[in-house]
Amino acid sequence: MIQLKVNGVDRSFGGNQNMPLLWYLRDVLGLTGTKFGCGVALCGACTVHRNGEAVRACVTPMSSVSGADITTIEAVGEKGLHPVQAAWIQHNVPQCGYCQSGQIMQAIALLRATPKPTDEEIDEGMAGNICRCGTYQRIRAAIKTAAKEPV
């Protein structure tokens, strides 16, 4: 039996330990904010936090999250908009929106690790998250705005 926390709630899982975390979140818990994109950790749509670090849920087996604290987009801004979410709105980042939960989760992890990132650090930190609408300049601007607030 795998014990973990998801968005601060104690959970247990007794199923196939090779099941990707993404399917547990979406199909078992009904947390559908985390999206399926490519299934091979190349697009970032499925990004969540494991113990505060960004991971790709599509390739993270349940066996690797035993004892972990998982945070999904549903928990971001529970007590009001997170600075990254507010910056996303301010800069009108989303177009189709499909990648945005993964982009936001990656941006939060980036700002925790690098509170005042340069353009190059933003590009490097966000490189694994693909936006098929091409809003990369707005994403960078939103991250710079969010960096002015504590995350």
Q: What is the pTM of this model?
A: 0.95
Nearest-5° angle of CA 21, CA 24, CA 28?
170
Neighbours of 1 (CB within 10 A): 7
Can you give the residue ranges of every domain in the chain? 2-75, 83-146
Decide if pLDDT at 77 tops 90.
Answer: no
Q: What is the mean pLDDT of residues 90-117?
A: 96
Q: What is the mean pLDDT of residues 2-29?
A: 97
β-pairing, 69-71 vs 2-6, is parallel
Give me the CATH code for the 83-146 domain, please. Answer: 1.10.150.120
Separation between Cα atoms, residue 48 and residue 2, nearest integer Å? 18
How is domain 2-75 classified at the architecture level of CATH?
A: Roll (3.10)
> What order do you get walking across the sheet with 53-56 strand by strand?
9-13, 2-6, 69-71, 47-50, 53-56
Predicted confidence at residue 150, as pLDDT, reads: 81
Residues 20 and 25: their CA atoms lie apart, in Å, by 9
Q: How far apart are CA 149 and CA 13, in angstroms?
A: 37
**What average pLDDT does range 129-133 have in this prediction?**
94
